[in-house]
Structure 1
């Protein structure tokens, strides 16, 4: 069993709480599939570089994709669970898209536990990370360390090795770095996305994401000028 580290959870969660302020006026007219506006803003070069250089990133698809979509998520965020189905459809129908997962465990102790396991999966079996991601979301209820480990057991991964890696300082450092960068970018909700240098707070839905990706391909911007 992975120890429940309340202090670590505080270190991960506090920066996001501190950043829970106005994201600022949206710079692009992007609406979710329910018609509600999605908060967004253009990142500057330094901010984008922070995202691109994060440790512990998970390339879930082709590293040579022509558009890169970063998803910041918490395993226990109900909106992230709902978004997972849309993201699956997106990558299954768009082989030229590069999807990069950014584990962002900010909601609970259980989220930190689960993220420790998934970051260990990233090291042991990176080619199976997407499989893990799908399986861990398939069940109901809270995703904690034990539930995440049960998924790795079902996948036939080495439990002892998973636990060993999950409890390393480098995994702790990775989670804290993700939290600090997310807070610095004011990503105060999960899931959040970064695409073409623009941060989006919230899940817009499958078709809006497809439209954003199509715009990037057409005019190198998340929204093309008419």
Structure 2
């Protein structure tokens, strides 16, 4: 075997070894990530029921759809989060498709002061009975939402802007947003959009068809729990 051939063989052997080691590392990382996701899912199945009341029954959290719906979608969002706007459209479609679903809004501004201002304004708009129309208008805006944008949109949907400014100073509004942040932290929600349905936390945009599957699954599991509770009562 010539020196050049021997050198080529060694180079190929080294390359194969590097690829094998790289593949093993990637496989190990994949397996570890899978285990991490499973551990988190198991932990959330404990955490979510413990925080069900905070998720569903905070009087400061606006609700759309059927207030008595048997399945709740709990949405964490930021008005300057572009994927949140797509998610908002999907939630509206889900409410149209299923009259027994309620949507709970959790203002969760994570993208700076302008987002904080918009969240405060949205919650303050409840005092004028215009939360949902204002929320959808903010979500329907195509650009970044600054403070002046928020107030302009508020005026366009019929809100008294001066009253809105005054209502935004209510300490209860800042307290509601703080509770949302604490709840998000408890459930390992670090960004937007995020959705809680049943005993699961789903990050990112959920397409309508997938959303319908989550709703059906949550409903089926709730029915099983009710059936089990009824049997235990006898």
TM range (shorter): 0.7 to 0.9
Question: RCO greater where, 1 or 2, for CA within 8 Å and sep 6 or more?
Answer: 1
Alpha-carbon deviations, 1:193-223, whole Å to 9, x = none? 11123222222211111011112223438xx
Describe the SS at the equivalent of 1:25. helix
Describe the SS at the equivalent of 2:196. strand
* Contiguous gaps of at least 5 residues in structure 1: 1-21, 30-39, 222-226
- Within the candidate set 160, 163, 167, 1:161 is matched to 163
Judging changes above 3 Å, is the alpha-carbon distance between structure 1 residues 84 and 112 closer, same or farther for their aligned structure 2 residues? same
Q: Where does residue 137 of structure 1 map in the other structure?
A: 139
Q: Which has the higher helix share?
A: 2
Q: How does 1:153-192 map to 2 (within 5 A)?
A: 153-192=155-194
- Within the candidate set 59, 64, 74, 1:60 is matched to 64
Alpha-carbon deviations, 1:75-116, whole Å to 9, x = none? 111110111111121112211111111111111111001011
Q: Is the 8 A contact 1:62 1:98 kept in 2?
A: yes
1:46 Cα offset (Å):
2.3
* Contiguous gaps of at least 5 residues in structure 2: 1-33, 224-234
Q: TM-score, normalised by structure 2?
A: 0.72
Matched, 1:46 2:50: yes
- Within the candidate set 94, 98, 116, 1:94 is matched to 98
Q: 1: distance between equivalents of 2:219 and 2:164?
A: 39
Q: Where does residue 79 of structure 2 map in the other structure?
A: 75
Q: Where does residue 124 of structure 1 map in the other structure?
A: 128
Q: TM-score, normalised by structure 1?
A: 0.75
Q: How much is the aligned-residue C-alpha RMSD, in angstroms? A: 2.6
Higher mean Cα deviation, 40-49 or 57-66? 40-49
Judging changes above 3 Å, is the alpha-carbon distance between structure 1 residues 80 and 43 closer, same or farther for their aligned structure 2 residues? farther
* Larger-Rg structure: 2
- Within the candidate set 165, 176, 196, 1:194 is matched to 196
